[in-house]
Structure 1
């Protein structure tokens, strides 16, 4: 529900005592009646003046009730939003919170030197996450799981990947969310070719794109590709899985990437919406979760419970406020 935006006149009335609209309405109605009566040379009896005062009081009372209703609507909206955000914060705070960022402050402006900018507090927060990973997590696959669909997970993968690259590591970013691929946009790259093509038989070296970060650092980007991935005829693993992202070819790709790069950050689809995400978590060294303040608290709790039940090692969470 939208919060009512009061006019300046309403703001003034709210700053006065609660009964002020009644007094104001009585004065205005009485004054207007007197002016009209004087202009028409009509004398008002006591009963007429009493009727005018009652009319003014009624109008003022309606004004008080209208302001009370506006306050109730505004308070209910604020309270509902606060309860929702507070509930999400309670769930996330029970875990390890690595960083808190703002959603409108994480988009990358372009490629090249722009990626090295540290002017944004949110970018600095992501870089701090990269420092924590560099310090506390051994090289390998890092599964970055979203709670709900949206760009927050890809933004986290992009910025943390940049931070690890600038720290001197060989880093690759892999977008596995085929339903809503986003990672490529942060680097102004094309969505295809990508993972779909690799799972269809293309060589990873023909798909990867290298983004220059300054004079000495390069970040490898593997976008999602377009369409449903086709099963590779060379993958003679027996029964072809319904989703090639769950095939032996996908497993081999992850093993090869882990051998070639020090850190592989996987932009995974939401845990509760795509079972592939849970498969990736099982193969990764650690899992990070990305939670937005607009997420439903029960959805966040279910995601954590699903990961816990699967024995996934959740290293920490990144909270993105909207």
Structure 2
């Protein structure tokens, strides 16, 4: 495995190996603290990010890698340099791994054809298409709370059309055998490409919540709406917001997830986000372990005996 570009092109064996490694790291992170000594990772981000960028940086540092952060806004991109030219210039400097976030769907796949064998590319989110490490940390979190996922019902709800998380999550849940996958969104925010065999689609949020074991809420992605009118926040919350009253429709013990950033009072109430069923902060913590696992898997790093 040279690159992690999307879930679809990654084998089940590699996905399971990454998740198993993440579990080992979470149980004893100190074993891996010097595994990547003298290796170098570059974070190349063309879009703003808090959780993903910092999580990649912490993951690399915990492995002992040296980290260089490059924000497109402070680079030669502002002078008109293309993604490929920026990538080739960075590659020529000899890093071991480049984690890239880019607003264009499929942009990273084009780089794999010019990547040298020694260099590994990790997709840190491209367009509205893919976010493989987010999907991996989401499934890692689900398995920690619901180990029998083949018998469970998982709901993803919100702005599905513009979310890069949705497609990766659904692809991974299908590959690794979640019992039932549900999607729910207003009609204008539904992603038609996700309506495939094995996925149940709802327009009624209350009906979608009935009996689910986990619900993942997604924010409205205003930055990607384009010419589409943004939904009114209060009206959206009335019909599509997750409240404690609505959460009561789910199965007992249902966990609440969110990839962030959250818009409190729109897609989720604070009392739910901060409540006893929420594992949102745990997702963030798990993101470090999972990204450590991804980097160590790609780079062939091993923990100390």
Task: Work out whether the TM-score is over 0.5.
Answer: no
TM normalised by structure 1 equals 0.34
Higher helix share: 1
Structure number with bigger Rg: 1
